[in-house]
Amino acid sequence: MRTSTLRTAEDVASSRPVELGIGYATVWRNLRTQAPRKMEDMEPYKFPLPPTDQDFEALVERLSRDRHPDATVQRFGRNGQAQHGVDVLITRADGTSDGYQCKHVKSLGENEVSSESLKATAFPGGISRFIIYTTAPRDTSDQLAARKATKTHPFLVIVSSWDDIAVDLMNNLGASQRYMAELPLHDITAVYVRQLSIVFDRPAFTHPAGAEWSHQMQLDAIRDVEEFLATGQLNTRDARFVLRSLPASSVPGTRSHIAPIRKCVRDLRHAVTPAARAEKVGDYVAIPHLRAAIEVARIALMRAVTSALIAHQIDVIDFDGSSATTGPVQ
């Protein structure tokens, strides 16, 4: 079971947003604090890796078509032919070209970057850029090796890691949902349920009423979750996204758990709405009387979420009230 990180008021006051790049796939840190949740203060979320080399090449080709709608994008050659280090070829209207190499590996390394870029120097007609796409995580040694190779070759050399590819997936809803849908069925379900654990691991759901700065903020969080369940998109309050996934109705093997979660989310929204209205008009006398119903609905929701996580062998969320007697976890 995961535990929350304690932060003092001074820690919160002195904290700064973590710069991860606009559009980066992210998840919330589980912080036990009464301070308002900083949506910029997030950790990376990673899509599952493509199962095979061919799947990875297909993904790179698809993302390239979306990124370069006015260029010609095609696979170059096939296994056994001289490809000069190029798996995917981008040809623009002005005749210039980029060559992409796809490396489905756990790590890359300077030697691999040097070897592949050297092959590309013999590409017929030449290229302007040579990009090595890899399933390996971002690594400074790979990036520095690319800079070194650029100095000795007639084209720019770039290494694009799985972290970078995740940015493209998150910026492209169609591509990310197609990618998710093409994963093996077991992987789709497992990924989606893990995403549920991210979606509900925030103070609006894990802590008693009032953990958010206001009940309106708690209501906003509930609406965010309802949007995620309906569309597969989870957005921050400044309209930047956190997750891209499939709509709940498109995920196999989850219906029996998603239905009660949806109902519990609706019940919580109905409980929080009067408190948000009272807050808006300054009726702070009524709010304490409403919080008991909010707590019952919140705990029931988190127990429904816990049931789904346990059923799919995903680590459960540590939440206040997890031992409350609101009924057994199924």
Q: Is 166 helix (H, G, I), strand (E, B) or coil?
A: helix
> Alpha helix (H) ranges present in the chain?
9-14, 53-67, 110-120, 140-152, 162-171, 173-182, 185-199, 203-206, 215-231, 255-281, 287-311
Residue-level pLDDT at 264: 96
Over range 299-316, report the average pLDDT: 93
* Per-residue confidence band for 174, with pLDDT thresholds at 50, 70 and 90: confident
3-state class (DSSP) for residue 251: coil
Average pLDDT over the chain, rounded to an integer:
80
β-bridge partners, 32:
6
Residue 249's contacts (CB-CB under 8 Å, 6 or more residues apart) are none
List the single range of 164-173, 214-223, 266-275, 288-297 with lowest mean pLDDT.
164-173
Torsion angle (degrees, nearest 10) of CA 181, 177, 201, 218:
-140
What CATH topology corresponds to 53-169?
Trna Endonuclease; Chain: A, domain 1 (3.40.1350)
Q: Where are the domains of the chain?
A: 53-169, 184-311
Question: In 183-214, which ranges are continuous DSSP H helix?
Answer: 185-199, 203-206
For the segment 98-110, the average pLDDT, to the nearest whole number, is 95
245, pLDDT greater than 90 = no
Q: What is the pLDDT of residues 35-57, one digit of tens each?
A: 433 333 434 456 788 888 988 99
